[in-house]
Chains A and B, each alone.
Chain A
Amino acid sequence: MTTDIAVRPAGFWRSELAGSVMLVLAALVTALVVAALIMVFSGVSMPQIGLALTSLATGSFGSPQAISETLVAATPLIIAGLGFVIGAKAGLFNVGVEGQILIGGMFGLVAGFSFPDLPMIVHLPLALGCAFVGGALLAGIAGWLKVASGAHEVITTIMLNFIALRFVDFLLRNPPVQNPERSDPISRFVADTATLPKLFAWFDPSMRVNLGILLAVLVAVFVAWLLWRTTLGFEIRVMGANQQAGRFAGMNTARTVIVAMMLSGGIAGLAGATLTQGVLGRASPDFAAGLGFEAIAVALLARSHPVGVVFSGILFGALTAGGRRMQVAAGVSLDLITIVQAIVLLCIAAPMLIRTIYPFLFRPARES
């Protein structure tokens, strides 16, 4: 996979990094051109299309407020994407990110309103820890089933997604989680002491970016450290590369599968906590709303590299934030962004496509 990226730009700037940046830009341009074409075909007028594209830019990076929204959208994507990365490195395809976000978010929420008298320094980490445990438990079921019976994790995690969705519905319609002042399925609010504090409230109270984005960076560093600097990380990577080699080397592969799955789910659970304990402050039915699947795309976009996930998460977050502005300003449906994201992922995963479309940007790497 990684050797595939040997697309080098012509001219003096020949480094691999430059090639990657070029690739991302080319992918983005392609996706936006396709989006514009789709808008043309769906009968959006030319000035509206121009407005849509400019508001996509201004809504993502055009102002401090916009950057704040980009980071808010990126936070759960980065963290959940990192969760997926741990599983992927162990050769486990954790499609259950969505459900783990939901359960983790609910665990964080319950811990967040249950102890209103704790000081923040205790309460916030406690609630985040609960979220981790929630996600880890759900994913642990899939890991345990895989070890105990060989049930494929793709199936069990997909089923657990549906189960988690229904379970959250149940919690939201019954005490003690349901807000006693409401009749619809809405939860209580998380106590202030368990809410991720806004980072720039002193500068502009409307900027929603919170501690979650720093948590995301921290988790990225942690995942990178775990994978490349610890024995467990080594075992996880061996599992992903060649399970049999691991077994012959005397590793406890069963334990590694369960631990990797639980870590994967726990981190995804943290992503849920950044929603319920962050921007939402409470839970409503299906509050994950497909974020889990978007996070998988984010992780795939970064080729399952923890540092790359931070950047691809910000890219997808920017598209979402810009897309919301686009929807309001130009009246173009936010669903267009899903198409843009899919094409970006496609172009970056298959660099041969980009090379076919833009032969002048990339000359074949010189044989040396």
Chain B
Amino acid sequence: MTATTLSGRAQTVFLDPALVRRNRIIGIVLLVLAAVIASGFGIGVEGNAAFNLTPPRALIPIGSLIVPVAPYVLVIAAIIAFMGVRLLMKSGSRYANLLLGIALALAITAFLTWATAGKSLSLIGLLQATVVRAVPIAFAGLAGVLCERVGVVNIGIEGMMMAGAFTGAVAGSLIGGVGGLVAATVVGGGIGLLLALLTVTYRLDHIIAGVVINMLVLGITSYATSQVLVSNRALNQAPVFRPIEIPYLSDVPILGPMFFSHNIFVYAALIMLLSATYYLFHTRLGLRARAVGEYPRAADTLGIDVFRTRYINVMLGGMVAGFGGAWFTLGSVGQFDENMTAGRGFIGLAAMIFGRWHPLGVLAAALVFGFADTLQQKLVILRTPVPAEFLAMAPYILTIIVVAGLVGRARAPAADGHNYEKS
């Protein structure tokens, strides 16, 4: 695949033609990107962009980062062009994906300075909102990881989250926020049990099972909202979890407000992602779970109960999705609206694949989606000449670019989506 460098100089150079072709394409893409940035955002733009570093509710202002737009954008364009030329010249490079990622990130900063030219943007607010918006996607992605690592495809995450959001709102109104959160988790786990029952025991096609779950939950929650909740307002007024400032850590500049002054959902997401990583890759149970997802027959032969492992992990995934679903109501507005998850469960599935079925990968992917989602909202406020509808497409276009350009052929667990029959 790449140059052999055993003794000093490269001996025989084996280059994968597909890799070379891909690198050339990426190189050209980078050059085009550089040209677009330089001509579109750099040349002829005057003024400075001010990025405010002070947290929204802080007493002491930290000050602003003042960036002169045109020079900054031109420097960025030059860097990207340099990377492109380098890729074209050394087309056997293994770092093409990394370079593409860096180039995209730089391009986004260039775009952001151009959009902020002559105005001021709260950088801290942007980063803080990014983390908040990453939360539901991270939960959804983690739920997907837990299910797919044992070989059960979970298209029903959207439904599980919606059920969590609904339960969180209703139970939260009746017995308070913590009770609502517990109820949402239990209901999510219950739907996970249903998915496991349908796929593991009844050997239903996983995608059909997921579609059924989504339809069922959408139907039940929408019906209950229009038939019951509209006339009983008291059932749909849940308390919202307030942000908790973590002592000392929340005072760290930039990182403090970004990660350590949120409500419990953000901390829960971080804890769950870390403990899921530990569980899947550093415990005996996790190893068994992954074995079931890769090669259930072998796992069965070694005495692992395939059915029980799948049941437990799918239910865990459901509980995570239900907990994450409660974020929509208990973590943000306190009120359930029909179809309020608006496809976040599906974006979570995208985050799972982008994160290569790894909880920490999911975290990174969720932050990228959260950033794109936040960015489009801030840009609407900045009144750029780009129509709002096109800005609203940004997170989705970014997802496509990321999945197509950076991830490529990610490998799913081998037994993903396959039912297991004991022989």
Q: Is B62 an interface residue (CB 8 A)?
A: no
Instruction: Chain B residues near A150: list those with CB within 8 A.
Output: 408-410
Is A120 an interface position by the 8 A CB rule? no
Q: Would you give the 0/1 interface string for B378-421, flagging 1 where the beta carbon is closer than 8 Å to chain A? A: 00000000010110110111011001110111100000000000
Q: Name the interface residues of A8-29: CB closer than 8 Å to any CB of B.
A: none
Q: How far is the CA of A172 from the CA of B397 in the complex (A)?
A: 21
CA distance A6 to B178 in the complex (A): 48
Q: Which of B5-13, B88-96, B181-189, B346-354 binds A?
A: B346-354
Nearest CB in chain A: distance from B217 CB, A: 9
Given contacts A150-B408, A350-B204, contact A170 B218 (CB under 8 A): no
A173 at the interface (CB under 8 A from B): yes
Contacts of B212 in A (CB 8 A): 342, 345-346, 349
**8 Å CB contact of A345 from B208, B225, B410:** B208
How far is B219's CA from A341's CA once the two chains are assembled, in angstroms?
9
- The contact of A145 among B204, B223, B346, B404, by CB within 8 Å, is B404
> What's the dominant secondary structure at chain B's contact region?
helix
Give the chain B neighbours of A352 by CB distance below 8 A.
202
Query: Is A239 in contact with chain B by the CB < 8 A criterion?
Result: no
Residues of A close to B405: CB separation below 8 A = 149
User: Would you call A148 an interface residue if the criterion is a C-beta within 8 Å of the partner chain's C-beta atoms?
Assistant: yes
Most chain A CB within a 10 A radius of its CB, from B214, B216, B223, B399? B223
Q: Contact partner of A166 among B224, B338, B347, B393, CB < 8 A?
A: B393
Contact A342 B396 (CB under 8 A): no
A163 near B349 (CB under 8 angstroms)? no
* Inter-chain contact A339/B399, CB cutoff 8 Å: no
Q: In whole angstroms, how far apart are the Cα atoms of A42 and B231 in the complex? A: 12
Among B207, B216, B227, B408, the residue within 8 A (CB) of A42 is B227
The answer for the CA separation of A341 and B220 in the assembled complex, in Å, is 12
Q: How far is the CB of A78 from chain B (nearest CB, A)?
A: 18
Interface status of A38 (Cβ within 8 A of chain B): yes
User: In the complex, are the beta carbons of B208 and A349 less than 8 A apart?
Assistant: yes
Known contacts: A149-B408, A159-B397. The answer to whether A300 contacts B211 by CB under 8 A is yes
* Interface residues in B222-237 (C-beta closer than 8 Å to A): 222-228
Chain A contacts for B387, CB-based, 8 A: 170, 174
Q: Find chain B residues with CB under 8 A from A163 CB.
A: 393, 396-397
Interface membership of A5, Cβ < 8 A: no
| Shortest Cβ distance from residue A287 to the other chain B in the assembled complex, whole angstroms | 16
Interface residues of A in 328-345 (CB under 8 A from B): 332-333, 335-343, 345
Nearest CB of chain B from residue A288's CB, rounded to whole Å: 14
Contact flags (1/0) for A130-151 with B, using CB distance below 8 Å?
0000000000000001001111
Which of A300, A335, A349 meets B226, CB within 8 Å? Answer: A335
19 more CB-based (< 8 A) A-B contacts, given A42-B228, A158-B349, A338-B223: A95-B346, A149-B405, A150-B409, A151-B407, A152-B353, A158-B343, A158-B347, A159-B396, A160-B400, A162-B343, A162-B395, A162-B396, A166-B390, A335-B219, A335-B225, A341-B215, A346-B212, A346-B216, A350-B204
7 residue pairs of the A-B complex, CB under 8 angstroms, read: A155-B403, A159-B399, A336-B223, A343-B216, A346-B212, A346-B216, A350-B198
Considering the complex of A and B, which 6 residue pairs feature the smallest CB-CB distances, nearest first?
A: A338-B219, A150-B409, A339-B219, A342-B215, A170-B389, A335-B222
Residues of A within 8 A of B (CB): 1, 38, 42-44, 93, 95, 145, 148-152, 154-156, 158-163, 166-167, 169-170, 173-174, 293, 296-297, 300, 332-333, 335-343, 345-346, 349-350, 352-353
Name B's A-contacting residues (CB within 8 A): 198, 202, 204-205, 207-209, 211-212, 214-216, 218-220, 222-228, 338, 343, 346-347, 349-350, 353, 387, 389-390, 392-393, 395-397, 399-400, 403-405, 407-410
